Chain A
């Protein structure tokens, strides 16, 4: 562990040194900041009283004996994966492992983490112990309970104080990497699973009192998988460091980004949904379509990316685009149409990437890669699932919250950027269409769009055609999110100065090249804070799905669990739990955005 900390510490890019604020002893600090004049003294006292009152109310809510916290503990599985079958649960763990590996490797490759002085850590512990002590005195515990908790608080404080003394004893300032601290914390949590039964209970169908979950059920077997997950994450981090030190940076990062983009559809539709491929259908239909598009598209694109073809290629591309839209007028397979539209997009962008044979080969390979991933996903999505789950969709609870948020963000980003570009473009049709779309969508509340897509759209579809509720809702949400995103991006685009446009034109860039390589990178950088705000908003607003009856985590906490005979009247407990889960994730996103801003130097340049 110390090895990690030293390596990451040296690798950390030092931020511009802020002016040193002199450290004051606590009493003087309090005097200067809290009690400097009568007004601030009064403010300090009033705020303290308010804070103490709120904490006391919250604590007496949480520790009230009538609270049914076992409703939350018993329903952990329902909260996170709803009805995903026990015997297939290894798929859920697999998905989690993949995400953890990607996260750890990315953290290593992007050199996340910073060094924290051990002394500061000690002070934090000391403060935490003090806070725990105060809260214990406020909480409605019995005398023995109070003593127990006070002892725990004292232990924490003592650990903190001795750490601080130890750190400041040696003369040189000792530091520890924040990732080490994170790993130790997680290890502690995983270890506690072996001792504390957080959600190891279940009710059996014949309504006997609560019993421990049976051997082999998910509720009883989370401790081993979580421990394995932690080990996987740590070893993936070490692997990531090895990769970072030995492989070139940029290809690694690009590969990781592609893997991140691919993971949501692959994990959800291939791993969790487990399609059972009908090989006859695959060989007779899917493969021929793929092969013809691969060969035809590759030939076309290699011609279009020839520098000698020039801008004439765009005319061909537009013809393909129109042909792509025309495919919707005649009955044919959806995959043919989607492939056609993708090819049109590639063709449109081709002249921008025109160049020597190496460039052309890369572009064609890019097309083949996108086409094969797309065909594979479409085939597996259209294949019946082998996982049978009660309900309309195979995942639910927090997984569907995450899934809808991720899909909405991933799909609405390109759409939003395209809308922003269209709205700022000089071509009147694009500008008008984009403006109309944005203003129309922004004028309608999200819940209206969601209700429209979940209830009305199925009625408009031709008889015999089904659009899954989740798919319908994601489509509606993507349109909504893209409209807002477009306005954020437009703000960024407009901050790119005229001189940048002119300079790009002066060196002979085409409009597409100028947009792609000059305007967008600078515009998006400026738009990072509102974009992250948008991401957090999208994540939280998935809770509106609860209103239209999608089994997301809020719906389960608010409607489903209080609808169990054993847990009538347990809404408050479960709502508190759900809000804590939302907070953890939203807070992490906002922390990530702060780090991103620091890295890109926003606000400093």
Chain B
């Protein structure tokens, strides 16, 4: 009887302590700090308004990146972040804050990324995140314009009888290596099932381990997004071997682009039109080198984007020259693409990432 009473008391006490610890903490109004969330509990005064105002007030953009994706967002030896994703972060910062350097890159793992958006740790994700139905609906994300059209492909050795025209059906009986925890595993299993090929799937934690095994002969085929395969082929193909990437039509669609929390129209517009402006400027052949000259003599669409007559940026809550700054400080779409992806062997010509006039999918609505 007695011990039961004590147990009950102890339980109540525990619940009470936990409840009080989780209770209100509202008045702890440390001033809304600018930079990274520190180690302590900090309370940021969140206005009910758009993230756009919050970011402008804060003066830095918290941008979620991978930090370890070749050519997309790499952490360099001095800790700086480079890559196409990083450049889109800078572009958004240039548009919203006016300074491409005002970005706080938050490196996130794949499992953390959506939580980070929901808790407000990051304002926008530029973390090679595929736009899917579930993420757009039940996960609670909204997606911006696709900045890179990727798709899963396979890579094998020519000496094993594969060529660029090989199909998924040809891999019957092969050992396929891929990284675990992503949709690549599921995609290749489904594709193989559809093509009637029986494969042995080996999963690895990191992509480096996948290619170690592939080079050592532990598997016949590796599979992941085409962009990564091209980079690996350029950098790691041994001199006495030839690797080939196939099928030419990827087995999955992986549109990658900016991702942010849902139902924040003003913020979505700011991010989306930053990307669109970079694409439109690219269509006109404008780059960071010639943007000042071109803007000075521009007319119609370019003039509006530059902040001249009839500009629409002020109405979006941005400064009139926001997109001018984006091009000047970061560059147009083609510039950013070539700077980051050409070194790993990815070129726009002939790919889905060519402009729509060149037969690609990169397309922006008109700025008027």
Q: Is the CB of A563 within 8 A of B67?
A: yes
Supplied contacts A333-B28, A459-B119, A465-B28, 18 more A-B pairs, CB within 8 Å: A78-B77, A86-B78, A329-B20, A330-B24, A460-B22, A464-B44, A469-B37, A471-B38, A549-B107, A551-B107, A556-B75, A559-B206, A560-B75, A562-B207, A564-B75, A564-B76, A568-B232, A571-B212
Report Cα–Cα, A334/B82, bound state, in Å.
39
The chain A residue sitting closest to B17, CB to CB, is A325
Q: Which residues of A contact B27 (CB under 8 A)?
A: 331-333
Q: Which residue of A lies closest to B108 (CB)?
A: A549
Asked if A392 meets B40 with Cβ closer than 8 Å, knowing A433-B10, A568-B232, the reply is no
Is A459 in contact with B118, judged by CB distance below 8 angstroms?
A: yes
Q: Is the CB of B75 within 8 A of A207?
A: no
The listed residue (B45, B105, B121) touching A390 by CB distance below 8 A is B105
List 6 tightest A-B contacts by C-beta distance, closest first: A83-B79, A563-B68, A549-B109, A471-B39, A331-B27, A571-B208
Quick check: B71 and A392 within 8 Å, CB to CB? no
Q: Which residues of B contact A81 (CB under 8 A)?
A: 79
B residues less than 8 Å from A83 (CB atoms): 75, 78-80
Using A391-B105, A571-B208 as known contacts, say yes or no to A462 and B24 having CB atoms under 8 A apart: yes
A151 is an interface residue with CB less than 8 A from chain B:
no
Selected contact of B236 from candidates A84, A219, A568, CB within 8 Å:
A568
Q: Is B35 at the interface (CB under 8 A from chain A)?
A: yes
- Complex interface residues of chain B between 33 and 70 (CB less than 8 A to chain A): 33-46, 60, 66-70
* B36 contacts A78, C-beta separation under 8 Å: no
Question: Residue on A with the closest CB to B207?
Answer: A562
A-B contact pairs, 30 of them (CB 8 A): A83-B79, A203-B77, A326-B20, A331-B24, A331-B26, A334-B25, A384-B33, A389-B35, A391-B105, A391-B106, A391-B107, A392-B106, A393-B36, A429-B6, A429-B13, A454-B112, A455-B111, A458-B115, A461-B119, A464-B43, A469-B37, A471-B40, A549-B107, A559-B68, A563-B66, A564-B70, A565-B231, A568-B211, A568-B236, A569-B211
**Which residues of chain B come closer than 8 Å to A202, judged between CB atoms?**
77-78
Complex: A468 Cα to B208 Cα, angstroms: 30
Known: A219-B77, A390-B104. A568 touches B208 (CB 8 A): yes
Residue from B31, B104, B119 within 8 A of A391 (CB atoms): B104
Contact A390/B79 with A278-B31, A331-B27, A568-B232 known, Cβ cut-off 8 Å: yes
Residues in B with CB closer than 8 Å to A586 are none
The reply to whether A465 and B343 contact each other, CB–CB distance below 8 Å, is no
Query: Which residues does chain A contribute within 8 Å of B71, judged by CB atoms?
Result: 565
Measured CB to CB, the closest approach of chain A to B17, in angstroms, equals: 7
Assess whether A217 is interfacial by the CB under 8 Å rule.
yes
A390-B80 contact, Cβ under 8 Å, with A385-B38, A464-B46, A571-B206: yes
A84 CA / B78 CA spacing, docked (Å): 8
Q: With contacts A458-B115, A466-B44, A468-B40 known, is A572 near B212, CB below 8 A?
A: yes
A77-B77, A83-B80 given; A334·B41 CB < 8 A: yes
B26 pairs with A462, CB closer than 8 A: yes
Number of interface residues of B (CB under 8 A): 75
B74 and A389 contact, CB distance less than 8 A: no
Distance in Å from the Cβ of A390 to the closest Cβ of chain B? 4
- The reply to whether the CB of B183 lies closer than 8 angstroms to some CB of chain A is no
Nearest Cβ in chain A — how far from B257, in angstroms? Answer: 20
Residue B23 lies at the interface, judged by CB distance under 8 Å to chain A: yes
Nearest-Cβ distance from residue A279 to partner chain B, whole angstroms: 13
Min Cβ gap A73→B in Å is: 10
Collect the chain A residues with CB atoms within 8 Å of residue B111's CB: 455
Chain A residues 326 to 372 lying within 8 A of chain B, measured CB to CB, are 326, 328-334
A470 on the B face (CB < 8 A): yes
Within 8 Å of chain B (Cβ to Cβ): is A467?
Answer: yes
Shortest Cβ distance from B83 into A: residue: A565
Question: Cβ of A382 < 8 Å from any Cβ of B?
Answer: yes
Q: Please name all residues of chain B whose beta carbon is closer than 8 Å to the beta carbon of A490 when the two chains form the complex.
A: none
Asked if A381 is at the interface (CB within 8 A of a chain B CB), the reply is yes
In the complex, what's the smallest C-beta–C-beta distance from A564 to chain B, in angstroms?
5
Q: Which residue of B lies closest to A559 (CB)?
A: B68
Query: Do A458 and B68 form a contact, CB below 8 Å, given A219-B77, A568-B235?
Result: no
Closest A residue to B339 using CB positions: A206
Do the beta carbons of A205 and B76 come within 8 Å of each other?
yes
Which A-chain residue is minimally distant from B29 (CB atoms)? A333
A558 at the interface (CB under 8 A from B): yes
Identify the interface centre among B77, B207, B232: most chain A CB within 10 Å of its CB.
B77
- What is the bound-complex CA distance between A572 and B215, given in angstroms? 14
Any chain A CB within 8 A of the CB of B174?
no
Q: How far is the CB of B236 from chain A (nearest CB, A)?
A: 5
A605 contacts partner chain B, Cβ-Cβ < 8 Å: no
State in angstroms the CA–CA spacing of A560 and B208 once bound together. 11
Do residues A464 and B45 form an inter-chain contact, with CB atoms below 8 A? Answer: yes
Tell me whether B42 and A203 are in contact (CB under 8 A): no
* Chain B residues closer than 8 Å to A84, beta-carbon distance: 79
When distances are taken between beta carbons in the complex, the residues of chain A under 8 Å from B236 are: 568-569
Chain A residues with CB under 8 Å of B68's CB are 559-560, 562-563
Q: Of all chain B residues, which has the CB nearest A394?
A: B36
Verify if A75 is at the interface (C-beta below 8 Å from B).
yes
User: How distant is B238 from chain A, measured CB to nearest CB, in Å?
Assistant: 9
Known: A558-B206, A562-B208. A390 touches B77 (CB 8 A): no
Is B79 within 8 A of A77, CB to CB? yes
Q: How far is the CA of A328 from the CA of B23 in the complex (A)?
A: 7
